Amino acid sequence: MMAAGVDAPDQAADIGPPLWLLAELTYRCPLQCPYCSNPLDYASQDQELTTEQWVSVLRQGRAMGAAQLGFSGGEPLVRQDLAQLIAEARQLGYYSNLITSGLGLTEAKVNAFRDAGLDHIQVSFQASDPELNNAVAGSRKAFEQKLAMARAVKAAGYPMVLNFVIHRHNIHQMTDILDLCRRLEADYVELATCQYYGWAFQNREGLMPSRAQLETAEAAVNRYRDQLADAGEAMKLIFVTPDYYEERPKACMNGWGSMFLTVAPDGTALPCHSARLLPIEFANVREQSLQSIWYHSPGFNHYRGDGWMPEPCRSCDEKGKDFGGCRCQAYLLTGNADNPDPVCSKSPSHDRILAARRAADHATAGLEELTYRNRHNSRLFYRTG
Ligand code: FES
């Protein structure tokens, strides 16, 4: 039974509505990227919401005030009802974004999604050349397919938005990556250095670039930006640096339960895509309305505000800026999600970040030593917990 209910607003006065809804439609994916942010034991969570249940989630989210909608996964294209969900989103008035590897996409689907009202498509790549791209993706045909689909997206009139996850095995390709984007006539390029959650945390030592690699890459991006400006080209480059090289934490999700709401494939509602790894019980949209979950569930209220904060966060004059950082990162690095995010140099656990940086200076692991995200490996994590 789905918890129906587009209730009248009854929110607590100091809690705003969720503005961003991320619909993780499935954990199924044809690729095996070793930095996937899905849970390690995703193979144990294969009870996906039905079309009807997703439609109800979209309606409830919109009634609460959500305006931005992301369709992600796994690979959302494996859901046969994607066009139907897109059409529903359009009818409800969402601005919708499809986050895809491009695998399973066809020109006909791109056109069908456009006709159904999809606003935006982001295609991810693993590298600038087929060999490395396909080795990281764990698929022999991925690169050619991605090229074809990036072109199809552009031809359908969408802005071309390309995403590259950057790590120590492709960070040396920065200029080649940008040349590729230019050849494809990309409008926006997101160069997102790996964030260490899920499979990426498992593989952190084999993925994390050294500071020297990072600085070289950033300089290459800045040079490229200047060249584009000189040539009068409008391609926008967004280089996201890893917080492991920062001294202050990121304002993760803009604060827990403040504007982001993720619904996992099985209907679990989460304040962020990683939160199900925390020892906190999160409610499911099959049993409770989205509104009740957002405003009243213990999971969403757990880290709202600053009453939960320990020192030094509690008396820190920057707590209104970073909200204590990332709870998932605190848990992964210290075993206790209540702790300050170790990225912060004021955290008593900051030495774990420093140790990770030192390890990155000396890392030698090749691609073959990474743990790839696939059902076989996921089941191992499920069995061993
Ligand atoms: Fe979960 Fe930051 S990723 S709180």
SS3 per residue for 64-107: HCCCEEEEECCCHHHCCCHHHHHHHHHHHCCEEEEEECCCCCCH
Q: Which atom of ligand 1 is nearest to the CA of 195?
A: 3
Helix (H, G, I), strand (E, B) or coil at 349: coil
Q: Is 326 annotated as a binding residue?
A: no
From 326, 334, 343, mutation site for ligand 1 pocket: most ligand atoms within 8 A of C-beta = 326
Cβ atoms of 34 and 198 within 8 Å: the answer is no
3-state helix, strand, coil in the chain (%, to 5): 45, 10, 45
Residue partners of 261: CB distance under 8 A and separation at least 6? 18, 20, 21, 22, 61, 66, 269, 270, 271, 290, 294
Query: Helices 82-92 and 107-116 meet at what angle, rounded to 10?
Result: 30
Q: Which atom of ligand 1 is nearest to the CA of 329?
A: 2
Q: Would you state the torsion angle of the CA atoms of residues 197, 199, 200, 201, taken in this order, to the nearest 10 degrees?
A: 60
E strand or H helix at 238 = strand 236-240
The token duo for 93 is 């008035």
State the number of CA atoms in the 13 A half-sphere of 67 facing the CB. Answer: 3
CA–centroid distance, 324 to ligand 1, in Å, is 11
CA–centroid distance, 254 to ligand 1, in Å, is 10
| Beta carbon of 326 within 6 Å of any ligand 1 atom | yes
Q: What number of residues does the chain have?
A: 385
Cβ atoms of 339 and 185 within 8 Å: the answer is no
How many other CB atoms are there within 10 angstroms of residue 367's CB atom? 15
Q: Is 194 annotated as a binding residue?
A: no
| Beta carbon of 272 within 6 Å of any ligand 1 atom | yes
Q: Which atom of ligand 1 is nearest to the CA of 326?
A: 2
Q: Which residue's CA is the closest to the ligand 1 atom numbered 1?
A: 328
CA–centroid distance, 329 to ligand 1, in Å, is 7
User: Among residues 112, 108, 118, 173, which one has the least CA distance to residue 143?
Assistant: 173
CA distance 286 to 57: 10
CA distance readout (Å), 380 to 26, 40, 75: 20, 9, 22
Tell me the residue type at 278. L
CA–centroid distance, 203 to ligand 1, in Å, is 18
Predicted local confidence at residue 4, as pLDDT = 44
Predicted local confidence at residue 211, as pLDDT = 96
pTM of the model: 0.94
How many other CB atoms are there within 10 angstroms of residue 369's CB atom? 11
Residue partners of 310: CB distance under 8 A and separation at least 6? 338, 339, 340
Dihedral sign (CA 93, 86, 190, 38):
positive
Predicted local confidence at residue 8, as pLDDT = 40
Range 75-111 burial, b when 16+ CB lie within 10 A, else e: bbbbbeebbebbbbbbebebebbbbbbbbbbeeebbe
How many other CB atoms are there within 10 angstroms of residue 359's CB atom? 13
Q: Is 29 annotated as a binding residue?
A: yes
| Beta carbon of 276 within 6 Å of any ligand 1 atom | no
How many other CB atoms are there within 10 angstroms of residue 346's CB atom? 14
| Beta carbon of 252 within 6 Å of any ligand 1 atom | yes
Residue numbers in the chain where pLDDT is lower than 70: 1-13, 383-385
Range 49-66 burial, b when 16+ CB lie within 10 A, else e: beeebbbbbbbbbbbbeb
User: Among residues 275, 310, 291, which one has the least CA distance to residue 15?
Assistant: 291
Predicted local confidence at residue 176, as pLDDT = 98
CA–centroid distance, 264 to ligand 1, in Å, is 14
How many other CB atoms are there within 10 angstroms of residue 377's CB atom? 17
| Beta carbon of 146 within 6 Å of any ligand 1 atom | no
Q: Would you state the torsion angle of the CA atoms of residues 130, 132, 134, 140, taken in this order, to the nearest 10 degrees?
A: 70
Predicted local confidence at residue 365, as pLDDT = 87
- Which residue is listed with tokens 């969720």? 18
Predicted local confidence at residue 9, as pLDDT = 46
